[in-house]
A and B are shown apart, each in its own frame.
Chain A
Amino acid sequence: MIKTSPRRTQDTLYRRQINAGDYWLYRLEAGQTLRITDSEGNQAVDTLFFNADDTAERYSMTDTVRGQNNLFLTTGSVLRSSEDRPMLKIVADTCGRHDTVGGACATESNTVRYSLEKRHMHACRDSWMLALAEHPEFGLTKRDLGHNINFFMNVPVTAEGGLTFADGISAPGKYVELEAAMNVLVLISNCPQLNNPCNGYNPTPIEVAVWS
């Protein structure tokens, strides 16, 4: 559901551009609101959330889709944890649909999806891996890389049970806003994918902003 936000950019606590192919790891306090803006359109923002006070509890695709009995995320969706607790709620969304079943690109899955020769190409899980390696203070390892959200991506399911990757629902400046229900670590890989239409073969920057 499309819903615009009353929040003004001049009131932000924090604002930053994240370039294509980069990661962003940030602690969001309970009650704070995070806005992710698709600066140039059709970018995929591969995002994981962890309970900042106990990272064994993390965003769960299965609990989230089961909790709302629906595959797509938009305004009103409650992002649930692996302990089936609300982590964040989508409070505004000008895109209308976000994916949580497609997962993140990896060098290994790219060999299967596209070609064995594409293994050397940069992938989202590489960015997450680098984030974990550069921030040992959070105690996160590869074990903690679960199933993620792909903000601004559209992955419809056909009646026959096929999975399709459609584009064209996002556009420059579209955004999604999430209000934290607990202290959460946010780990974004601003997708570097060069192999499929999810970002028009053209990875672009995103912007993140936080309100208290």
Chain B
Amino acid sequence: MTDSSKLLYRTVLPAGAHWSLRLRRGTALRLTDIRGGANVGMLFYNPENLLERYNAPDTMKCQHTFRLTTGHCLYSDMGRIFCGIEQDSFGWHDTVCGTMNAQLTEQRFGASDYQQARNDRHQNGYDSFLVELTKYGLGKRDLAACLNVFSRVSADEQGNLRLESPALPGASVTLRFAMDTLVVLHTCPHPLSQAGAYPRSPVEIALPADLAPLPEACLTREENRRGQANNALYYLGTIAPAGTIAPAGTMLGDSHAAPAQECHHD
């Protein structure tokens, strides 16, 4: 669990819950699987243009990766970086299995009605996403493949999928935001969960107090340096958190930065 003296905010979500918040660029979001075995389904949108959203295929292919961990960025469909994975004690998060709907949840974990189960009802990820999305004028058409934090899904040579062992108690992931981002998440079970009963793993959500640009670990890939250049163009002329936008000279000429982008290309 996180040292609360260095936090702007902390809350604990029980399993089967949903949450959303507009995260400002430079801030971080830390998720902790308190007891182990949690899953956090996440989607990201640009609050200034809700048509720009998390794109799992671009995220995977831009970084030639199927697993997501420290050093990987989560991309929008517009070639920009919502956030980078700054810290990850778990090591492998899924982004191809999506989320379970009500029917699948009932098939897997049995029926549960609200009158009897109250807040222990078997809430599903699909409805959870819809509830949060509707608050922002979004709906079914805006759903996309989500990130499933704390769920390691491997594929063999034939493409068969397997959900590996669940996270240990205390596993944590920190996302550092490089754009203002609408974060929508739920703590419902992963669709490949083999748990006998509906998993009851609470997740801590913490907003650390420090502000920082994109994690250094993400900028070892030239693709992510180009993604960062796309972000810099998006925020051109605005006041940014320190270090979020490289000064023009370093962005254009520094060996650690992306190549020059001429104005007439846009």
B241 at the A/B interface (Cβ < 8 Å)? no
CB-CB contacts below 8 Å: B131-160 with A: 139-146, 154-160
Given contacts A65-B161, A71-B155, A101-B96, contact A115 B64 (CB under 8 A): no
CB-CB contacts below 8 Å: B214-238 with A: 223-224, 226-227, 229-230
A144 at the A/B interface (Cβ < 8 Å)? yes
Chain B 72-85 interface 0/1 with A at a Cβ cutoff of 8 Å (1 = within): 00010111100000
Q: Write out the residue numbers on chain A whose beta carbons fall within 8 Å of the beta carbon of B144.
A: 146-147
Closest Cβ of chain A: how far from B187's Cβ, in Å? 18
CB-CB contacts below 8 Å: A74-111 with B: 82-84, 97, 101-104, 106-111
Bound form: Cα–Cα A111–B223 in Å: 8
Closest Cβ of chain A: how far from B134's Cβ, in Å? 13
Is A71 a contact partner of B58 (Cβ separation < 8 A)? no
B4 at the A/B interface (Cβ < 8 Å)? no
Bound form: Cα–Cα A157–B75 in Å: 20
Which listed residue, A66, A111, A160, touches B98 by the CB 8 Å rule? A66
Closest Cβ of chain B: how far from A107's Cβ, in Å? 8
Is A115 a contact partner of B154 (Cβ separation < 8 A)? no
A6 at the A/B interface (Cβ < 8 Å)? no
CB-CB contacts below 8 Å: A24-77 with B: 56-57, 60-63, 65-66, 69-72
Is A109 a contact partner of B145 (Cβ separation < 8 A)? no
Nearest to B99 among chain A residues (CB) is A62
Q: Write out the residue numbers on chain B whose beta carbons fall within 8 Å of the beta carbon of A72.
A: 158-159
Nearest to A101 among chain B residues (CB) is B96
Is A56 a contact partner of B140 (Cβ separation < 8 A)? yes
Is A70 a contact partner of B62 (Cβ separation < 8 A)? no
Which listed residue, A84, A112, A116, A161, touches B67 by the CB 8 Å rule? A161
29 A-B pairs in the complex with CB atoms less than 8 angstroms apart: A60-B98, A61-B57, A61-B145, A62-B96, A62-B97, A63-B98, A66-B98, A69-B161, A70-B161, A71-B155, A101-B56, A104-B57, A106-B77, A106-B79, A109-B61, A109-B79, A113-B62, A116-B229, A116-B230, A116-B261, A116-B265, A145-B77, A147-B56, A147-B145, A158-B66, A161-B66, A161-B67, A162-B65, A162-B66
